[in-house]
Amino acid sequence: MIRRRADAGSTALPVDYDRDPERFAANQAATSRFCIAGDVHGPVAERLASTATPPVLDLGGGDGTLARLLVPLGMRTVVLDQAAYVERAPRPAVRADAHRLPFTEGSFGAVAALWMLYHLGDPLLALSDIARVLRPGGTFVACTSSRFNDPELASALPEWGRPFSFDAETAPTLVSNVFDVVEVQRWDAPMVTLPDQRAVGLFLRGRGLSPQQARQGAERFTTPLTVTKRGTLIWARRR
């Protein structure tokens, strides 16, 4: 996966949902088919519904996975994403840049940024603007992967282990620069089982390899292959 430079020590993952939709589709398919543990969206929606005040801003919410869980729980949600597929999200949905949120100060009771702040070259700037649109005491939740995620596949991932702009190793510190961190949940456990080389190839494609690279990379591994997922979920409160 090609990354653009964020600063001297880290990089930002490119937003490729419009440029390479097959990569995004492969990631979704691999997660839904082979993950033996649930994603964060369900637990996050339940906790927001029980502890936060609407409306909720789903930042980088894509086609509205979190919003579709929140709305039936009585949580009015606004989805924001810069990719075109935000048009498939439940309304209201906004296509905009996460660095400059098009909302007035104190517009939201909660903001969620799930699997998205690593796409930003300056996540600290985005965190400051998130704090601006949150009400005092409002809830912020974010999650991200570790730079050492998927260690069993490291030999096929050329940038494995390199820092990126908002990874599990640095995210808690970045968030604490702007918010009062309430809780940091880390995971480091086998969460994906890939039954055959075709599944490995699909998973590698979702991780950003080209179709040819994914096929060739899959040939390196014996299946079934269990993959360890590493990352963190951060709950915080606006000061």
Helix/strand/coil (H/E/C) assignment for every residue in 11-48: EECCCCCCCCHHHHHHHHHHHHHHECCCCCHHHHHHHH
Assigned CATH class of 4-21+38-189+230-237: alpha beta
Burial class (CB in 10 A: 0-12, 13-18, 19+), 204: buried
pLDDT at residue 101, as a whole number: 97
* pLDDT, average across residues 110-122: 96
Burial class (CB in 10 A: 0-12, 13-18, 19+), 137: exposed
- Of 89-93, 133-137, 180-184, least confident by mean pLDDT is 89-93
Question: By the 8 A CB rule, do 77 and 58 touch?
Answer: yes
Q: pTM for this one?
A: 0.91
Backbone phi and psi for residue 15, each to the nearest 5 degrees, phi listed first: -90, 105
Copy the structure tokens of residue 189.
């456990």
Rounded distance between C-alpha atoms, residue 164 and residue 78, angstroms = 27
28 pLDDT band, cuts 50/70/90, is confident
* Average of per-residue pLDDT values in the chain: 92
Rounded distance between C-alpha atoms, residue 161 and residue 145, angstroms = 11
Report the interhelical angle of 21-34 vs 197-206 (nearest 10°). 130
* pLDDT, average across residues 49-65: 96
* pLDDT, average across residues 96-124: 96
- The structural domains of the chain, with segments of one domain joined by +, span 4-21+38-189+230-237
pLDDT at residue 15, as a whole number: 66
- The Cα-based distances of 52 to 58, 81, 87, 142, 154 in angstroms read 13, 22, 26, 14, 38
